[in-house]
Structures are given as C-alpha cells and as structure tokens.
Structure 1
Amino acid sequence: MTRRHFPCAALLALAALPAYAQDASVATPQGGWNRAALTDRSDELAVNYPYALIDRGTQKSRRMIQGHLRQMAKKRPFHQLVVNGNPTPLYTDDSGRYARAYSFGAGSNSVEVRAPDGKSIKRVQFYEVNTGRPQAVIRVIGAWDDNQAEVDLHVVTPDGQHAFFGHPVLTNGGGLDVDTVDGPGPENFVMTAPMRGLYQVWINYWGNFGSDGYHFDESTRQRPIITTRITLVFNENTAKERREEFVVPLRSIGELTLVKTFKF
C-alpha cells in the first residue's frame, strides 16, 4: 500500500517557538507542501504507525502531516497534534515518528504539536490558496484517545443518505475523506454545498485493530472508557466560521451514540 502527498499551498511562517522546540519536529510541510501535480511521491516510503492507512479512493484532498518526537511520553497524558484547533492524541512508533492525515481547506491553516503539559513546542502556520476547489461549508471531525480502537464516524444527510466507512461517498456531494484505522483519528465528513434540512451525527465503537488485524477483544483496550471528541465546523476558514464540540464516552464494543442532530 502506498502513501501519497497531496496538494497544499506553500509554507508562509513558522511561529515563535520556546527553547525546547527541538524536542519535536514537523517534517511535512518543509519548504512548502508538495503539489501532487508537480511532484509524484506515491511510491515514497513513509512512516507507517501503527498500522497502514486505508485509502478507499475518497481521500483525494488529504495531506500527510509527519514528524518526530525526541522525547516521548511513556504514559498518559501524551503529546497532542492540534490541526486548525482540533486536538488529537499524538501516538508514535518506537522511534518517535508519527503520521496523521488531514484534509485542509482554503485560507489560513495551522499544525501544532503540544507537550503533555499543554505547552506548544512546535507550530507551523500556512496559507492554502483557493485554487477553485470548493470550500467546506460543513465539516464534522471525529477523534478519540485509544490508538488501537476502531471508532467510526457516521453522518446521515437530509435526503437519507448515510456516510460511513462502507459507503464513504454520497451522491449529494458529501462524504468521508479520511477513514482512519491506524490510530485515534481524525476522521472527517465534508460537504461543500450542503442541502437544507436535518443532519444526524453518530459515533460507533466498532471494534479493535492490532497487528493481526481486526478483533473484538475488549480486554486489549487501553482505557476502560474511550473518550471521543466530535467537532462540527460551519463555514470553515471564513468570517462566518462557527464551531461546536462534543465529548462522548464509549464503554463497550458495538456502542452507537447519536452525538448531534442539527438543521442547516
């Protein structure tokens, strides 16, 4: 399975960093994000922690955020990767490398690494030029705090279509652009031209995923309760941006929770 680096605009600025910033790195972007149309890196080996991302063919706009932690937390709390204000626990391989996928929108974006005590130790700010690609009007982000738990985001749109890992692309223009089985998310649902009506957002603790594949042994869970964070972003990266966040506990495999019903 290959990993691909997808287009994003050039790096504009690197925020002021404390003296201990050398304890973390963000290897991508470096000197600007690579545009896939100009630089094909589809065959390049990349960090694979802890399991291979599954590319279901709907992740055309995702970018790989990669880097390295020199000093890794051996127990909770762990470092956090914060993308556009959305925090995700930052798990690494044994050497401290990490890789996370994210689908950025046009406008100002940020990638930040925070220490377990909440201090910012690395921050990259860049601007995604609007190249004519539609902007996300509705974005739903799901993340959780157990790196071997297979948690799935589900969204039902007003016309009754259901976006989830088995049906990621909807005919109404919405869909999941990242389905993550290799860590604590994020998973993203995006619509650029949403229809009017009621939307439902669900979160499901489907099972676990380890070196031998999927399984349903709850004794391997790292925490008695998995905490999920679901973020709704409306009119992202515009003056009208509005956000809502929900924290939902998941206690057992198979648990399916309605997070939010909203009218657009």
Structure 2
Amino acid sequence: MCRKTVLFIAIVAVVAGAAYAPAYAANRDDALADMTGAFNGWRHSGLTNEGERFVAAYPRPPVDRGAQRFRTLIEGRLKQINKADRKPPTLVVNGNATPLYTDDEGAFARPWAFGPGSNSIEIVSPDGRHRQRMQFFEADRNRPAAKLRAIVTWNDPKAQVDLHVITPEGLHAFWANPAFEDGSGFDVDSVDGAGPGIFSSAAPGHGTWLFFLNYWGNFDATGYNFDSNAHEREVITAQLTLVFNENTPDEKRETMTVPLRKIGDLMLIKSERL
C-alpha cells in the first residue's frame, strides 16, 4: 500500500478587525481535509518583539518585529506527519511559496500580511501529490492596498535573514527601523522559522528602490546566535518577491532566488525604478 505523506486538519487564519467572506475551493485531494477559518482578532500583544524575551516556542508565539498592525496569523495542525520525510510541506500564500515547518505534533503558525481583495492560502504535501486550499475575500476598507510589497522567505528554520529596503529619498527600512512616517514599513518581520519579512507601501515614491538581503545570524530555542554551524543547510536559499498593485487587475510580480552561504552575507538583490 502507498501511504499518503500528509493530510491536513485545519488552517485557522486570525485577523485583527477584518471582515472576511471565506470561500473554499475543493478538489479530489482536498476532500480528505478539514479546513476552517476563524476570524476573531489577532492582537499585537500576542507577539514577541525585539528586546523582549528570546524564546522560540515554535511554532508560536511567532517572534515578529514588524511595526504595522495589518497582520494575519495562519495557523493549524497537520493530521499526519511522516518523520521520514526530509522535505517539509509547502505553504503557498497568494502565490508565494515557502517551507512550512511545524513542531513535533504538526502544529504551525505563520504571520502574514494580506491586502484587500481576493487572497489564497494553500498547503502542498512534501511529495506534491496532495493540496489543500482556502480562498477568501478581504473586505476591510480601512486596510490600505499595497502598491508595492516586498516579501522575503528562506528555506532554513534556524537561519535569520533580514530584508533591507532603501527608498528613492534615502530612507532605510530594516529590523531596527521598521516603519516610516508615511505609513509604509514592515507589516511582518518574522525570525521564527522561514520568515516571512514583508515590507509594504501604499504610495511608493518615484525613483530607484533598492532591496538587500542579509544573512544576519541564526535563531533557536536559546535565542540568537552567530555559530556558523548552527543552521541546517550549508547553502540557504532565500527568495525575494516584489508585488506591484496587489490583488488588482494590474498586479505584477517578480521573484528572485539567491544563495546565502555564510553569516554576514549582504547582497543587493534588486534595483527597481518606479
């Protein structure tokens, strides 16, 4: 008999002050999954921020250094875990794929930032044969639409990769300066697991934007460390995705994948003129 690698029991997306009309797309593989959505308000006080306690109680609470309030917590539990699988399931959020790391019981939690309009969450089993998808519509008119969104993810649960954004005016957004006065900044800056870091701007200035990635260090249950052997992969694969006019007919996206080999690596990934 062929054993199914992973079945999924639930995804619970909890959003602060948002109005949702969830819709569920089903196919033959999804029929075996129980997917639910509960939107009861996720509050910033539930996060662990820079300067507080360094505890990686994976998969939660996520350690999120983002400065803005438009976050969503995607959480749930896998029905079955095949510990022989060396490859984790994949979480795909609005087309952005990232490894889905869990605790020993299959529980996961991943912060994200959704804009108004149609959004999707999908989980793909390690062998790629089984999928589970939730589609929902964000109807909160108070939530700004991102005309520019930069998303970084990576494939090592113990590595900490930082996104640095430099605006045409010379402003520098990164973990120690996560937000600007114009309202743009990091919605999410997660160091627990494989990210993401998500920078958003509703009104990006005209000129050249610079996007850097920095392999800053490692992170585990003891906190941050700079042990060159403390990561899981010899070469970490980081992915930067730029999304323009998200969730509109004019949406465009560009994805770049780069290797990071040693702590301290700082790379200019993209110079984008808007």
- Please give the TM-score of this superposition, normalised by the length of structure 2: 0.85
Deviation of 1:113 after TM superposition, in Å, equals 0.6
Deviation of 1:14 after TM superposition, in Å, equals 0.8
Paired position in structure 2 for 1:194: 204
Which residue of the other structure, out of 62, 75, 79, is the alignment partner of 1:53?
62
Deviation of 1:42 after TM superposition, in Å, equals 6.0
Once the two structures are aligned, what percentage of the paired residues are identical? Answer: 47
User: Which stretch has the larger CA shift, 49-58 or 189-198?
Assistant: 49-58
How large is the RMSD of aligned CA atoms in angstroms?
A: 2.4
Please state whether the residue corresponding to 2:170 is helix, strand or coil: coil
Paired position in structure 1 for 2:40: 34
Unpaired runs of 5+ residues, structure 1, are none
Paired position in structure 2 for 1:118: 128
Paired position in structure 2 for 1:102: 112
Q: 1:194 to 1:214 in 2, by over 3 A?
A: same
Q: Deviations over 1:138-157 (max 9, x none)?
A: 00000000001011111001
Unpaired runs of 5+ residues, structure 2, are 1-13, 48-55
User: Which stretch has the larger CA shift, 130-139 or 147-156?
Assistant: 130-139
What is the distance in 2 between the residues matched to 1:163 and 1:25? 39
Q: 1:126 to 1:5 in 2, by over 3 A?
A: closer
Paired position in structure 1 for 2:52: none
Deviation of 1:177 after TM superposition, in Å, equals 1.1
Please state whether the residue corresponding to 2:229 is helix, strand or coil: helix
Q: 1:172 to 1:207 in 2, by over 3 A?
A: same
Paired position in structure 2 for 1:219: 229
Q: 1:11 to 1:209 in 2, by over 3 A?
A: same
Paired position in structure 2 for 1:92: 102
Paired position in structure 2 for 1:144: 154
Which residue of the other structure, out of 228, 236, 248, is the alignment partner of 2:238?
228
Paired position in structure 2 for 1:260: 270
Q: Which amino acid aligns with 1:34?
A: N
Q: 1:241 to 1:20 in 2, by over 3 A?
A: closer
What is the distance in 2 between the residues matched to 1:149 and 1:196? 33
Deviation of 1:56 after TM superposition, in Å, equals 4.2
Which residue of the other structure, out of 64, 71, 81, is the alignment partner of 2:73?
64
Kindly indicate whether the alpha-carbon contact (under 8 Å) linking 1:149 and 1:205 is maintained by their aligned counterparts in 2: yes
Paired position in structure 2 for 1:129: 139
Kindly indicate whether the alpha-carbon contact (under 8 Å) linking 1:25 and 1:68 is maintained by their aligned counterparts in 2: no
Q: Which amino acid aligns with 1:148?
A: K
Deviation of 1:183 after TM superposition, in Å, equals 0.7
Q: Deviations over 1:126-171 (max 9, x none)?
A: 0001413321000000000000101111100111111100100112
Residue 188 (structure 2) pairs with residue 178 (structure 1): yes
Q: Which amino acid aligns with 1:102?
A: W
User: Which stretch has the larger CA shift, 51-60 or 63-72?
Assistant: 51-60
Paired position in structure 1 for 2:10: none
Q: Which amino acid aligns with 2:74?
A: I
Kindly indicate whether the alpha-carbon contact (under 8 Å) linking 2:190 and 2:196 is maintained by their aligned counterparts in 1: yes
Q: 1:161 to 1:25 in 2, by over 3 A?
A: farther
Q: Deviations over 1:206-257 (max 9, x none)?
A: 0001111111112122111000111000000001000000001000000001
Deviation of 1:72 after TM superposition, in Å, equals 2.6
Paired position in structure 2 for 1:205: 215
Q: 1:132 to 1:90 in 2, by over 3 A?
A: same
Deviation of 1:78 after TM superposition, in Å, equals 1.3
Q: 1:5 to 1:173 in 2, by over 3 A?
A: closer
Kindly indicate whether the alpha-carbon contact (under 8 Å) linking 1:113 and 1:122 is maintained by their aligned counterparts in 2: yes
Please state whether the residue corresponding to 1:113 is helix, strand or coil: strand
